[in-house]
Structures are given as C-alpha cells and as structure tokens.
Amino acid sequence: MRLDAHWMPFTSNKAFIANPRMLKSASGMYWTTKENQRVLDMTAGLWCTNLGHGRERVAAAIYASARKLDYAPSFGFGHDGAFELAGRLAEHAPGDLNHIFFTNSGSEAVDTALKMALAYHASRGQKGRKIFIGRERGYHGVNFGGTATGGIASNTRVFGRWGDVHHLADVLDIHNNAFSRGLPAHGLEKADELEHLIEFHGAENVAAMIAEPIQGAGGVIIPPAGYLDRLREICTRHGVLLIFDEVVCAFGRTCSFSAAQEFDVPPDLMITAKGLTSGTIPMGAVFCSEAIYQSVVGDSPVGIEFSHGYTYSAHPTACAAAIACLDIY
C-alpha cells in the first residue's frame, strides 16, 4: 500500500512510513493493530472517545440516521435531530448558555466563538473591540483564529498569528505547586495581567479572553485556586467576553457536565467538540449566552443575522450520534 498519498496531520510522516502503526479495530478500552496486537487506548483517542469504543447504541443511531436522512442543509432548513440535540445540550449548559451553534470540529467551534464575540460587540455599536487575549501554552485548534489565540510556539512559528492577539503568561509553576492536592495554591496573581493588558490596549478595543479552564495540549495545567473567578471578574468589569474552550474539559471529564460548572465560573461562550459524539462522528458546538444571542439575533432586523456556518453544521448523522451519547452519559 502506498503510504505517502496520505499526508498525515501532526505526524512525523517519514518516521511513520518507516514504521507504520496501523489500527484496524476498536472495542471498549482497546484498539487492535493490523498485527493483531491489543493496545490499551489510555488517552481516549485524542481525548475524545469518552464512552469507550464500539458502543452499539451510538452505532445503531448513526446507521438509522444515515438511512433516514443522510444529509440536510442547515442554512435555512432544519431537521428534528438538530433541535432535539440543541435543546438537550441547553438543559445541561452552565449559566444561561442556552443557544447552541453546531460545527464539525473544535477548531471550527473556536473560530465560530471568536466571530460571535465580534458580532456581539458590533451589534452593540462597539466595532472597535477586535483584540483577543489568549494564554501561553493554550491550545485552540489549528484554524487561523485558534492558531492566533493559541500559545504553543511550535504551532505558530511558520504561520504567524493573524489578528490582534495578546497572551497571558501560563500558570505552570512546578517549583511552588508540585504535589498540589486539588487546585494549586500559587499563581492567582497571574490573572491580574489580564487587567493590565485590557487597560493598556483600552477596554473599548478588546473583544474577548479565551482560555481552556484546564489547559490540555499545553501540558494538562490545572488553574490555581481562584484564577478562573478572577478572569471572570476582570472580563465582566471591562465588558470583555470570557470564552471557555472546553473541547477537552466538557462532557464529564471534570465530573460535572463542563469545567465551568465544576469550578462554578460561567463564561459567555463555551466551545465543545470531542466528547460531544464520543469521537464517533466529527462535531463541535458553541454554547452562547442569552445576552449574546439576543443582541446578535433577537435585536437584528429580519435577514441573516450571523453570516457564518458550515455545509455540515448540525449534520443529521452527527446529531444522532450526539443524542445517543447523551443518552448514555
């Protein structure tokens, strides 16, 4: 089999071709390789197969959906699955994040949330608010918005950072916080840099702060006690939106439905993907607050309120998979 036809993502392609690691099936917690080796899936795939592999109920829902309605556009059309799923997600949402926008990946959900932030400010006559603030070691996927707001240098070196983006220092402090039980005690003051950045650039120019409540790809970094509350408080004071990227954290990974609920810090926008369909079908979802939805959608004249969306937004098969996953969760 020709192995260089597939340009593999985030992979040393040459090393793979020299020593291919091919998987052929999966069940429960295990994969089976082409050589019939059983491999423990310790990381739940890329932190996405939260329910384990080979769930009959999910597979049956996907099959039934593909037979009944293989595709439905979601620009100007709807289908029951999309509304049922959004309604069920809204019931679990933190705070009043009751409006759900579907994408096909975490990266798309990140870009969608960033655009929602811009649309929200524009709808209130604050078009100047265009700056985004991320964090060093943050990971927000690989589309241009996520690449810019992310904070892992190797992901940006070649591509640069599009847009006006600034970063807070990360909260990794092994010297002081090693062997912490629960949330680390040191590092709360690192949140205060947000206040400084907002004042430096002018709150009237800052759109949103984006953060993973627990940083994943940057090293599984737990926030210091009070840190997320402090970010929330500073954002609120300056009219800056707080976006939580919960692509990894949501769907039970922190015990609660979302880390926002676990830490009791409600964001204005919450980005999810991965566990939404337990990795079975690509799907992401942005949870949006009542205030943002009302400002962008409710208060707009009749017409397309938000010029954004994907051919496969709310794909029927993905919705069916997500509903089946929710049933199991």
CB under 6 A: which stretch of 63-71, 82-90, 116-124, 134-142 binds ligand PLP? Answer: 134-142
- Is residue 281 near ligand PLP by the rule CB under 6 A? no
What is the number of the residue whose Cβ is closest to ligand PLP?
106
CB under 6 A: which stretch of 83-91, 118-126, 185-193, 242-250 binds ligand PLP? Answer: 242-250
Report how far residue 176's alpha carbon sits from residue 172's, in angstroms, rounded to the nearest whole number.
9
Q: Nearer Cβ to ligand PLP, position 270 or 292?
A: 270
Minimum distance of ligand PLP from residue 128's CB (angstroms): 27
Nearest to 47 by CA among 133, 135, 141, 173: 141
Q: Nearer Cβ to ligand PLP, position 104 or 295?
A: 104
Q: Nearer Cβ to ligand PLP, position 63 or 159?
A: 159
- Is residue 218 near ligand PLP by the rule CB under 6 A? no
Q: Nearer Cβ to ligand PLP, position 266 or 284?
A: 284
Site residues (CB under 6 A) for ligand PLP, limited to 186-205: none
Minimum distance of ligand PLP from residue 175's CB (angstroms): 26
- Is residue 248 near ligand PLP by the rule CB under 6 A? yes
CA atoms within 13 A on the CB side of 207: 28
For the stretch 14-28, what's the b/e string if a residue is b when 16 or more beta carbons lie within 10 angstroms of its beta carbon? Answer: eeeeeeeeeeeebee
Minimum distance of ligand PLP from residue 281's CB (angstroms): 12
- What are the strands, taking DSSP E only, across the chain? 23-27, 30-33, 38-40, 99-103, 131-135, 165-168, 206-211, 241-245, 269-272, 284-288
Q: What angle (nearest 5°) sits at the alpha carbon of residue 201, between those of residues 199 and 204?
A: 85
Q: How many residues bind ligand PLP (CB under 6 A)?
A: 15
The two structure tokens encoding residue 309: 């969306």
CA atoms within 13 A on the CB side of 329: 23
- Is residue 106 near ligand PLP by the rule CB under 6 A? yes
Q: Nearer Cβ to ligand PLP, position 224 or 284?
A: 284
- Is residue 273 near ligand PLP by the rule CB under 6 A? yes
DSSP-derived secondary structure for 125-173: T-TT--EEEEETT----SSHHHHHH---GGGTTTT---SSEEEEPP---
Q: Which residues bind ligand PLP (CB under 6 A)?
A: 46, 105-107, 110, 139-141, 212, 216-217, 245, 247-248, 273
